[in-house]
């Protein structure tokens, strides 16, 4: 595997925490001449944090709305995959949503977002979340639920689109078959739908019924939750004891 694409929350964390297992993962990926590219619904500003503090060259953030790249000097650049018109429409709709459904709780990292916004659904009543979602539906915004947020945006943003764009434009020398994706939630579904090598960590069980497209491999058991599952599976992949 030349590139390991992975969701962040619930996939590279264990029980919501980033722990030693994540650093073990970074180590094993580097030792096998592979690269970790985090593909997350978290904000652009989170992407800056990840690239600044961890030995990563690229990150795909905001559910695929932006690709961040760190050059040899440590300088980080951003490429947005949506138009300026869509970014402006998103800004207007976010303000209108807060007026129309004042119960909407935007995530604290929404100020660090550009191509999408996020709703903190766990802090809201289910009926209010539905009200917000129907407002977004009415105004033709796209939205998707991760295990932490309801993200919404305009334009064609998906993890799958961004990953394919990345492979074509950033790493054209790498074959699709030499890449893999790990995920755990509904906002990973576009990857499960059409990406060849996909793995769901065991905590995906909580949303499995809601997924129309499931990962090719679904890990099981507590010992395969989040980053523990990614590490165990990757060890097998790198040892070539399993075949894709």
For the chain, the distance separating the N- and C-terminal CA atoms, rounded to the nearest angstrom, is: 10
Q: How far is the CB of 213 from Mg ion (least distance, A)?
A: 15
**Is there binding between residue 116 and Mg ion (CB under 5 A)?**
no
* Smallest distance from Mg ion to CB 70, Å: 23
Site string for Mg ion, 153-182 (x = CB under 5 A): ------------------------------
Taking the C-alpha atoms of residue 180 and residue 199, their distance in angstroms, rounded to an integer, is 8
Strands, E assignment, the chain: 3-6, 35-39, 58-61, 66-70, 76-80, 117-119, 142-145, 150-153, 179-183, 198-200, 217-218
What strands lie across the sheet with 66-70, from one edge to the other? Answer: 76-80, 66-70, 58-61, 35-39, 3-6, 179-183, 198-200, 217-218
Instruction: Establish if 10 lies at the interface with Mg ion (CB under 5 A).
Output: yes
When the beta carbons of 6 and 104 are compared against Mg ion, the nearer one is: 6
7 scored as a contact of Mg ion (CB under 5 A): yes
Output 167 or 225, the one with its CB closest to Mg ion.
225
Residue 62 interacting with Mg ion (CB under 5 A): no
Confirm or reject binding of residue 9 to Mg ion (CB under 5 A). Answer: yes
Helix (H, G, I), strand (E, B) or coil at 29: helix
185 binds Mg ion (CB under 5 A): yes
Residues near Mg ion, by CB under 5 A = 7, 9-10, 147, 184-185
């Amino acid at each position: 595997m030349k590139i390991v694409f992975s969701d962040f929350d619930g996939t590279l964390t264990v029980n919501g925490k980033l722990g030693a297992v994540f650093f073990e993962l970074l180590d094993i990926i580097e030792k096998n001449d592979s690269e970790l590219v985090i593909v997350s619904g978290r904000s652009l500003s989170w992407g800056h944090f990840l690239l600044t503090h961890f030995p990563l060259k690229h990150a795909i953030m905001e559910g695929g709305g932006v690709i961040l790249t760190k050059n040899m000097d440590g300088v980080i650049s951003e490429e947005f995959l949506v138009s300026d018109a869509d970014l402006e429409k998103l800004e207007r709709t976010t303000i209108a949503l807060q007026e129309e459904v004042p119960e909407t709780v935007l995530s604290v990292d929404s100020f660090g977002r550009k191509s999408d916004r996020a709703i903190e659904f766990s802090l809201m009543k289910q009926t209010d979340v539905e009200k917000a979602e129907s407002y977004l539906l009415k105004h033709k915004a796209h939205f998707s639920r991760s295990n932490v947020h309801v993200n919404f945006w305009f334009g064609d943003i998906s993890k799958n689109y961004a990953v394919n764009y990345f492979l074509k434009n950033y790493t054209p020398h790498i074959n699709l078959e030499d890449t893999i994706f790990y995920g755990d939630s509904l906002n990973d579904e576009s990857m499960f739908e059409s990406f060849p090598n996909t793995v769901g960590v065991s905590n995906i069980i909580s949303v499995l019924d809601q997924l129309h497209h499931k990962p090719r491999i679904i890990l099981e058991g507590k010992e395969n939750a989040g980053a523990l599952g990614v590490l165990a599976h990757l060890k097998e992949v790198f040892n070539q004891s399993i075949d894709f």
